[in-house]
Each structure stands twice: as C-alpha cells, then as structure tokens.
Chain A
Amino acid sequence: MTTEKTVYVVDDDEAVRRFLRGLIGSIGLGVKAYASAQEFLDGYEAGSPGCLLLDIRMPDMSGLELQAELRRREIDIPVIILTGHGDVKVAVHAMKAGAVDFIEKPFNNELLLHGIQKVIAGSLHSSGTRVRRQEILQRVETLTTRERQVLGLVAAGETNKGVARHLGISEKTVEIHRANVMEKMQAKSLAELVKMAVLLEVE
C-alpha cells in the first residue's frame, strides 16, 4: 500500500484513457488507467489513497454497478463520475450512491483537474461541506415555489420538456425558471446545480 495519492481512471475507451493519463500526469499526480470495472477491482489494492475517475457507461459492469461493488467490498475511495452530455439522471443516481462529483464529457481540463485535486485534498469530505451546505440553503431561500419545483425536477435529471409536462407549463416558461434558478443558486453548470441539489437532498 502506497501513501502516494493516485488517480485511478476506469474508462473502456482507449483514446480517452490515453488522454486522461497524459492530462492528469501533467500536474504531477500518479495515474493508473483500467479498461473495465473488473480490471480495476483486480488491480486496486484496498486502502490505497487517491480518487477514482469512473466512466459511467461501460459494457459488462457499469460505473454504477462498480460503485455498488465498492460499497459491498467496503472500499472507501472517492469517486468522480464521468458522464456523457445530458446524462443527468444517471449522474444524480451516482451522486446519491455516494459519488463526490460528476463531470460531463467533453470536459474543461481545468475543471476536471480542479475537481480531482479537490477530491485528493479531501476538501469535499471535510467540514467545508457543512459550511457550503449553509450557503446553498441560503440561496434556496431566495427561490420562488415554482423555481424550487423546477430545481427539484431538473436535479432529478428531467429535461426541460419533462419538467414542462410535470408542471403543466410551457417549455419556454421552464427555460426562464431554470435560468433564474441557475442564477440565484450561482451555479455555473447543470452539473454544479445537480451537485448542490444532491447535497441538499432536494426532492
């Protein structure tokens, strides 16, 4: 067991693995890449520090299933989920299952590295989380009832269309509400908004 913190990458796409190895390695972190969940389970030494960068869509065992397996094996390693564009539902699932963050592909390099660094530093697991929760709760206070409903649905992975159907309003109106929510919650992306919602366990 090494004390050196390592970023474990699990992605079935060889090109993506190669790129991530290069990118993460460029900031001086150790990287180990695996083509499948099983390969990771076989290769990972329990208790090794670091974080797991996990693609959610894979044949055989998906990211979500790996998460479940880790829980079953009581392996406690922070997981950052890599999702495709618009895979909010799955992302929400993963967050609820204990993922610390999710990042949409294609991603901003800096955002990804920042996220990884934050996880490695353990900030998300620290007391900072509680402070942040207070902040987020204050921001939620500023939302109207409608806006809260929209936030709830969006964070649950509903599309604008789905939200509109649920609330019996037009898609246009949903867009406006959503924009207001993003602004009031100070979320730069949908991912950030979902993360906040998951943190609050807004239903």
Chain B
Amino acid sequence: MFRLVRLFLVTSAIAFATVSAAVVFYRQSEVDLLIAFAESQNVAQAQAFANTIWPRFSSYVTSALDSPKGALPARPETRAIHEVLTSLTAGLPVLKVKIYDLEGLTVYSSEPDEMGRYATDNPGFIIAAREGRPASRLTFRNRISSFEGTAQNRDLVESYLPIRQRDGPIEGVFELYSDVTPLVLRIEASTVKMAVGFFVIFGLLYGMLLIVVQRADGTIKRQYADITKKNAALEGEVAERKRAEAALTEAHDKLEQRVEDRTRKLTEEIAERRRAEDNLRKQSRAVEQSPAMTIITDLEGKIEYVNPRFTRVTGYALEEITGKTPSILKSGEMPRAEYERLWKTITAGKEWRGEIHNRKKNGELFWALTSISPIMDQRGAVTHFLGIAEDITQRKRVEEDARRHRNELAHTGRVIVMGEMATSLAHELNQPLTVISGCAQVCLDKLRSGDATSGEMLDSVEQVAEQAQRASEIIRRTRSFLRKEEDERRPIDLNDTIRGVEDLLRVDAREQGATIDLDLANRLPPVWADFIQIQQVVLNLAHNGMEAMAGSDSNQRRLTIQTLAGEGGSVEVAVRDTGHGIPTENLARVFDPFFTTKPSGLGMGLAISRSIVEAHGGRLWAASNEGIGAVFRFALPGTGEPRTYDD
C-alpha cells in the first residue's frame, strides 16, 4: 500500500532538515562574517597597540625569555604594558590581551596568572607566529576577567595576530579577546527569527498540506479499502464463479461421459440384441428349413413345436399335434425297454441317440435316426426336450438293398468257390461212401451166405454208421457254407473262424495235394464281422493259393494261414502259398472282376472277397511272398473302432 502520509512526513522532515540546515548555514555565515569583522578590528587594534607598545617594550619581549617565569608579572614592563593597554582599551570591546614572544612564551597577559605559560602548540599561535597571518575563532566564556573587571557569559572573538616593525620580521604575537556578545546576540536573534519564520511558514504550509494529504490519504485509503473490499468480493465472486463454472464443466463432462457411455452401451446392446435377433432368426430359419425333423416338448413330453419338415414327413401339422406326446408316432415295433432307457437317459440330462421305427399319420412306417436331448436354462435345470430326427427310411432301404446285394454277391462267391471245390468235395464224400459201400457188401455177403457172426456184423455196421455220419457232416458243412444267410455282424475270433473252415480247407488241400499249416496267434482281439463271409474269404484265398501251387512239386505245396494282432485292435490274416507267384504287373489287377489266370476260373473270387473285406471296414491286398509264391493279406478293424456303413 502506498503510505502517503508517511512519505509526506518523511518529505516534510527532509524539508525541515533542509530549512534547519539553511538556518544553521545562515548563522554560521553570519558568525564567520562576524569573526572576519572582529578579526579585522582586532588586527587594526593590535596594530594600534603594537604601534604604541612595541617600540617601548620590544626589548622586554625579546628578553623576557631569559627572565624567570614567576617574575614576569612582577616586572615593571608588564605593569607599564598593562597600564597602556588598559588605557588603550578603554571604551573598546577588547576584554583581554596576551603577548607572546616567538617561542610562544606568554610575556604579557591581562590576567597575570597566565604570564610565563607557553602557547607553543596553540594552532592560532602557530598560524600567526610561523605563517605571519592572523587566526581567529569565536568562543564563549562563562566568566572572563577583563580590564574592567570580570565579565560573565560573553561571546568572544579570540585572535592571534603577528606583530612586525613596519615591514620587518615577526617579532611577536598578540592575542586579543574582543567581545562580540551583542553581535552574536543579534545574529542569534535574527537566526531565531528567521528560523521561527521559516518554521512557522513551513509548519503552516506543511500542516495544511498534511491535512490535504491526510484527507487524500484517507480518501485513497477508503477507496483502496473499498476497492480492496470490492476486489476481494469480486475475486471471491470470480473464484465462486470459477468454482461454479468448474463444477458445471465437471458436471457437464460427467454428463457427456455418461451420455457417451450410455450411448455406447446402448449401441452395443442394440448391436448385441440385433446379433442375437439375427442369430435367433437365422437359427429359427435354420430350424424351419432344416432337413431334419425338429420337435420340442415340455418336461412332460407334450409337444410345443415341430418344424415344417416334421409335418412334411409325418403328416401331422403343428396345430394338431401341439400338446400331444410323441408317442402318437409309436409304431409298436420298438421294445418298451428301449423307450424306458430313452426316458431315463434324457431325464438324467444326457443325450439319447438311436433309430426309431415310427408311424406316420397315414399309417406308413418310417425310420428316424433320432437324437433327443434336454434343453437347460441358465441354472442348469431342464426345461424342455429337443428331438432331432432324420428320416432314414430311404437310406435304410438303400443300405438294405446294398446289404442284400452284398449278401447275394457273397453267396454267389461261396457258390463259385464251392463249385470250384466240387471235385474235392466229391472225393471227400467218396471216402466214407467207399467204406459204407464196402461194409454194406461185406454184411450182405455174410448175411446171404448165412455165416454171419454178430461181432463181424457189428463192426461193419458200426463203420457204416460212422462213415454215414462223416458224409453227412461234410454235406452239412457245405450246405451251411452255401446257405444264403443274412449278413450278421457280431464280435468274432478270427482263429475260431479259420478253425471252422479248416475241414473244408483240408478237403481242398488233399484234392490239390497240398499241406496246410495254421499259424494262429495265441490271443486275438475280437473283430466285428460276419462269420460265414470271413470264412468264405479265407477259403477263397486258400483255394486260390492251392490252385496256384498245382504246378509245383507236391512236397513243396505248402499253404500257411497266419493270424496276428495288428494295431489298434485290428486283426490281420495272411494266406501264403508256395505257388507260381503273381507277376508285379498283375498285383493290383487280381482283384478286378473277371480277371483270371485260371482256365476254368470266373475271376470273381478275389473281387468278391475284397468287397466283403471292405464292407467290414477292412482291406485286402496281395504281395509276392518272400522268395516263392504269393501272400494275400486282409485286415479287419477291432470292435473298438467305429463300424462303417459303406458298401
């Protein structure tokens, strides 16, 4: 804050100081003037005294040095000097006179006590004695003894004055004390007047100015305070407003953020909902358009929804079937236990899959490959059941046809093999027939001749019975092999399969003059297959092998049938012969239908064998045996592997 009054007072003080200084200066110059005046008077008076005194007393002065100190006042010269001077100073303001020789010895003083003292070091004396010019100063004495008694409170001009004889050298020094008290008093008085005048004028001036300044200061202060207050208020207001603005901005920002957030969320929600709707529409459309029948039921099994495909297949429209249970489709051909199992599975929260034989509205039956699964809500509670079924009637029919064809083909294959083995079989039957016929003749002969003993008869008849049994067994085996059976797949042990066909193989081997070795693995995993068809394949491969060996040396005609467990539960069968082998260029062609190298062959055996093996999900291939002959191998997948439906 600008301190006007203080500044003013300081300025005033400086002004007063300046004025005081001016007054002091004035007084000093007056005093100096006074001293100069008094000095000139003293010079003149001293000269006058000197003129008077010096011719008479200069010798004294110069001799005074040699006289004893205390003796000076008593010397007559001093008395004479004193008397001259007393007379000379009468009426003059000279109060005291001292005379010094050049050595500074006070040879005379109007105060006798001071005679004999030295003023050698006195500056005034030095100036006067050595430089030859007067030196004066103003002094104040409370008491001073003068020629006319003792004076009190006197202002004195004290002058040291050199004394010369005309223009001669300095011979001594006079010290005069002239009374200037009235002058000083006048100077004092004029000084006081001036000072008072100054002070009064200045005092008044400054007093008025002070008032003005104070007023102004007051006004300024008030205004300042006012402004400050207003400013503060304004600042407060501004701050308040700023705060409010900031709050507003913040609120606004927040609002904007929220709006933005909400907008984004809404956009997302909308997008999500749209996606969901899209999905729902797509899914709904998918269900509507699905080539699979779709049924949704409630927990009691009452139908809530069926898709158009369901209506197309079964003939039941959604309106007429809603609220009913799928048992309306029951054909009665499925066992009750299976329905119970189904219900148990889905109520346990699992999926049931299977083929169901159903009945349409018009009474027709159809096969449905069905999957029924529970629909759960978010908490995992079952709310509905979803059934998806595919009409596989056509497929089953095609499969059935294919299977029948395959069976017929397989049967044809068996007939062909048996045909090729007919001679062997005939010979095999010939053995028991030979014995039967022979024994019968023996019996007849004995009976006719009448010497039959029951022991001999018994032996023959026993042989007949045994051999008849044997013949019928061969025929039974042949018939069972040739039987036109349905393809019946079950887990079988290929070792059993091969052992079951061993008799027929041996019949063939004997016919071909070959030996058969069975090299069967100790334990084989079961394979999913039709017993007879696999026997057929084995028989076919063995028969081929033996025919291939027809040209070989008979003790080298050796056919080996080997079984071994393959990877992943599969089983491999290898049929090795020691025949002429297969030329490399024919290795792939031997399975082609009607490909044959035998004069009497149809070329169907291997083609049919391969189709049988492949229908079992396996494969059949040929290779050259190591060294001699050929080896045919086939592998069937284990029961662990999925069944194949291909043809």
**Residue A15 lies at the interface, judged by CB distance under 8 Å to chain B:** yes
**Residue A128 lies at the interface, judged by CB distance under 8 Å to chain B:** no
A62/B442 in contact, CB under 8 A: no
Contact A15 B515, CB 8 Å, known A57-B427, A109-B442: no
A15/B467 in contact, CB under 8 A: yes
**Residue B459 lies at the interface, judged by CB distance under 8 Å to chain A:** yes
B438/A61 in contact, CB under 8 A: no
A15/B466 in contact, CB under 8 A: yes
Of A12, A61, A62, A109, which is within 8 A of B441 by CB?
A: A109
A16 to B511, CA, bound (A): 16
Of A12, A13, A62, A107, which is within 8 A of B554 by CB?
A: A62
A84/B510 in contact, CB under 8 A: no
B433/A105 in contact, CB under 8 A: yes
A15/B432 in contact, CB under 8 A: yes
**Inter-chain contact total with CB atoms closer than 8 Å:** 71
A84/B427 in contact, CB under 8 A: yes
Among A16, A84, A86, A109, the one with the most B-chain Cβ atoms within 10 Å of its Cβ is A84
**SS of A interface (majority):** loop
In chain B, positions 167-203 with a C-beta closer than 8 Å to chain A are none
Mask, A69-93, CB within 8 Å of B = 1, is 0000000000000001110000000
A57/B438 in contact, CB under 8 A: no
Q: How far is the CB of A42 from chain B (nearest CB, A)?
A: 14
A60/B441 in contact, CB under 8 A: no
Q: How far is the CB of A63 from chain B (nearest CB, A)?
A: 10
A85/B510 in contact, CB under 8 A: no
A86 to B459, CA, bound (A): 30
A59 to B549, CA, bound (A): 12
Mask, A7-26, CB within 8 Å of B = 1, is 00000110110110011001
Of A23, A57, A60, A105, which is within 8 A of B555 by CB?
A: A60
> Which residues from chain A contact B325 at a C-beta distance below 8 Å?
none
Of B426, B430, B467, B554, which is within 8 A of A60 by CB?
A: B554
A106 to B435, CA, bound (A): 7
**Residue B509 lies at the interface, judged by CB distance under 8 Å to chain A:** yes
Q: How many residues of A contact B (CB 8 A)?
A: 25
**Residue A65 lies at the interface, judged by CB distance under 8 Å to chain B:** yes
Among A12, A59, A61, the one with the most B-chain Cβ atoms within 10 Å of its Cβ is A59
**Residue A108 lies at the interface, judged by CB distance under 8 Å to chain B:** yes
B441/A59 in contact, CB under 8 A: no
Contact A19 B438, CB 8 Å, known A59-B509, A105-B431: yes
Of B437, B445, B509, B514, which is within 8 A of A106 by CB?
A: B437
Of B433, B513, B515, which is within 8 A of A57 by CB?
A: B513
Besides the contacts A23-B442, A57-B510, what 17 more A-B pairs have beta carbons closer than 8 Å? A13-B431, A15-B432, A15-B463, A16-B435, A18-B435, A19-B463, A57-B511, A59-B513, A60-B515, A61-B554, A86-B426, A105-B433, A106-B434, A106-B436, A106-B438, A108-B441, A110-B441
28 A–B contacts from the bound complex (CB under 8 Å): A12-B510, A15-B466, A16-B431, A16-B435, A19-B435, A19-B438, A19-B439, A22-B459, A22-B460, A57-B510, A57-B511, A58-B513, A59-B509, A59-B510, A59-B514, A60-B513, A60-B515, A60-B554, A60-B555, A62-B513, A62-B554, A86-B426, A105-B431, A105-B433, A106-B430, A106-B436, A106-B437, A107-B434
